[in-house]
Structure 1
Amino acid sequence: MTTLKEGTPNTGVTFIDLFAGCGGLSLGLIQAGWRGLFAIEHSKDAFKTFNRNFLSDDAVYNFDWPEWLPQENHDIEYVLDHYQNELKSYAKNVDLIVGGPPCQGFSSAGKRNSSDPRNKLVDLYLEFVKVINPKIVLIENVKGLASDFSDASGKSEVTNYYNKIISNLKENYYVSDKIIDVSEYGVPQRRKRIFIIAIRRDLEFKDFENPFDLLEANRLEFLKNKGLDISPTTASDALSDLEIRRNGTGASKAEARFNEIKYIRPLTKYQKVMHGDQNGKMHDTRLARHRPDIIERFKKIIELCHSTGRLNTSLSKEAKEQFGIRKAALRVMDPASPAPTITSMPDDLLHYSEPRTLTVRESARIQSFPDWFKFEGKYTTGGERRRSEVPRFTQVANAVPPLMAEALGLTLLKLLVDKEGSSL
C-alpha cells in the first residue's frame, strides 16, 4: 500500500503513471490521496529520481509496485509487448491512468517535427489505455499538441495529435479538455498546458459534469487548505529565502569544485509549504560556476531589464547585440510576478536580483516540488548527449507541477468518491 503522510486521506483509489519522468504528477496525486500501482519511464536518469523518491526504503511515499514488473526504467512498447497477460489482469480494475507523452515534437519552444519518433508515443499511450480500460484518463501536454503538423514542404496536413487523442477516447469515454495556467493553482510560474480528462461512459454518472468546472469551483478552497494566498505566488515568494545575500555560500559537500547555498529557513507562506518540517535541511542548492566576466555581464543585464521594465521577457535584439548574446531566449525574472515557464536550459533564465542562473532547487521551487524531494543524476548535459540524457534541470522542467497535479487529483477524487448519486 502506498505510504501516506499524516493527514493525507487514504481513499484506496489507484493510478498508473505513464511517461512518469521524475514523478511530479505521481507526487501530486499521492498527496491528494491516490495509491500508485506502478509507473513507466524510459529514461534511466529520470527513473533514478523517481526510484529515490517513491521506491527506496526511506521514501516519503511508496508505490504498491507489482512483483512481475522490475523496478527500473522501461520502454512503454516493451511493457506492452512482454507483459500483456499481467496488464490484462488490471482491466477495468484501475481507477486512473495518467501521463503525458514526451512533448518535444509538439512544443513551439523547439523545432516542431512531424516525424519526431516521440510523437508516435501517443499511439502507445492510447493502446495502453485500451488494454487497461481505466475509469478515468488524465493527459497533460504542451499547447502545441492541438496544432496541425505539416510535411516538409509545408503544403499538406500530416496529423493533429490532439484530435487523434480526442476521437480515440470518445469511443468509450466522456472527454473534456482545458488549457490551464498553473499559476492559478499556487505554482509560481506562468506555465500554460493542455489537460485532457476522459471518464468512462459506462460509469453512469447521475448528471455528467465537466470536471474542469469542478476543478475551478474548488480552486480557492484548494489554495486555502494548502495555506497559500489567493493572489498569484511570485518569484520572490518562492525564492527569497534562497538568496545568496541572505544565506551565504560554502563548498559543496558532494562536489568540491562547486559552492552551494547554505540554507537558513523559509520566510513566506509558499516557502513554508514547500519546506515543511525539513528544519533547515536542503538539497540541490549547488551554484553554477560563472566566470567573473559572465557575472559582470549578468549584473548589467539585470540592471537593464529592471530599468526598462523588460522582466520575464526575452532580451530585445538590441540588448542581445549589446551584450554579445546569441541565445534565442534569455530572460530576467520579475520578483513581483510568477516566473516564466521553466525550460530544460538553466541559462535561459536569470535570477531577479543576483547575477546568476538558478539552482536545481530554485527551479524545483518554481515547479512546486517540496524541498524534501531529491533529484538524481547529472545537473546538465550538452551536444548530442541531450538526445539521450535527462539531467536534473531537464527532469524538473519536464515535470507536471505537483501542486497542479494535487488539485487535479482532489477533483478526480470528488468525481469518484464524493459525487452524490454516482455508482462508482
Structure 2
Amino acid sequence: MPHRPLSPGRAIARHIRFLFWLLACGLSLAACNGGGDAQESGAVARDAMHGDLFIAPAGALCARRERDGNCVQPTSSSTDALALHKAMTNPGPDAPMINFDSPGYLIEGLRTKDSQGNPSMINPSMINPSFGLVWRHIQAGRNGFVVDGRRYGNAKDNPSDAMVNYTGEQGGGAVLMFNLEGGQNQAWFFIFGEHDLVSPRGTAGWGTALGLLTDQTDAPTTRKVTYLGRYRSFSGTAERLDENGSTDSLDIRVTYEAELDLHTGSLSGVRIDYTDPGTQRHTRLKLPDLTFKHSRLEGLSKTQRFDIEIDGPAHIDAPGEDKRPEAPRPDTPRIRHDFTIEALEGEIFGKQAARIHLMGAGPKGTFLVALVRKDLFELMENNPVIHYPLTPAKP
C-alpha cells in the first residue's frame, strides 16, 4: 500500500518492517465495477440487518462507554476512518480513550545482526522465529496507546504522517500507520503493532489491522459480494545461506478473487497452485470456505487447519527479492518450506463490508489474506492491476 514519504521515524520503520509488511502488503488489484449479485436485494437487506452475519451497531462514537470509562469499540456506522484517526491522535488530556479487541501476529526470536554485531537494519527479521496469533486489548487515544497494560506515548511524528512511532514506558515501542489521503476510501484501514518486546526467545513483535467492524446498519444489500485480494505468507528461519545475503526465508504473494454469501455468511475458499514467472517461487495450498458471524470469523472456521507448500529461490537481504542484476541467478540457493496453519482469525471492516482480513499462523510460518470489495478498486491509488490468475476451489 503506497504511503507518502516518512518522517524521521523511517529508521524505526525499517527496524520493525519484518512484522508490518505482513499487514501493509500493498494490494495489486484491478479497477473493476460490480460487486455482487443484485437479485433479491430487499430480502438480503432484511436478512443482513436482522441476522447475525454482521455485528450490532455500537452507536455514535463515544456515545456509549465501558465500565472503565472508555468508549466502546466503534463499528462502521459509528464514524469513518478519518474521524477515528483524529479522535485517536488528539493529544488533549481530556480526549476520549477508545477500546479495541483485536487479533494479531506474534513473532518471537533473536534479532538478526550485521557484520559488526548490531541489530540489522537491512535485514530486520528474526533468527529461528516462532509464529503465532494472539488477541490483545488496545486502548487508543490522546495520541498514545495502552496494550494489555503496556503504555506507549511520546509520539515521534506528526499525526498527519503516514506512520507515527510511540515509545513504551517499559521498553519497546509501538507504531500506528494510516494514510490520510487513502483514508477517503472506505477500504482503508489502520495498522498498529508493538515491537522489541522482551520475550523468552529474545524479542517479540505483534501487529494487527484496526478498523471499524461492519455493522448491520451498513450491511450490503446484494445476495453476494465479490472481492479481489492478496494472499501473502512468510516462513523461514532468517539464517544466512551464502555470502550474497541469501536467507532461509520466503515470502509469497498471489492475487485472487473471493465471494461472500450474505445468506450463509460463507466466504469462498481457493485452491492455489502457482509459480510466479518473475521470482520463480511456487505456492501450493487450499484455503477452505470460511464462515463469519458478528463480522468475525466464526468458531468452527477458526479451528480449520491447512498445509502450505512453497519453494523457490531464497531471498537476498530479506524481506525482499534478490536485487542483483538478472536475479534470481543460477547460484541463488533454492529452498522449500512445508508448514501448517493451525490458528485462524478474520474480520470484516468498513461500510458495506468494504474489506476482509484473514490471518493465520503455525509454529513455522504465517499468512495474510487482505480482500477489498471489487467495486472499490477504481478508488485505489495508481490504478493497480491484477497480476496472477487463480483457479477457484469450487465453480
TM above 0.5: no
TM-score normalised by L of structure 2: 0.24
Q: Larger C-alpha radius of gyration, 1 or 2?
A: 1
More helix by share: 1
TM-score normalised by L of structure 1: 0.23
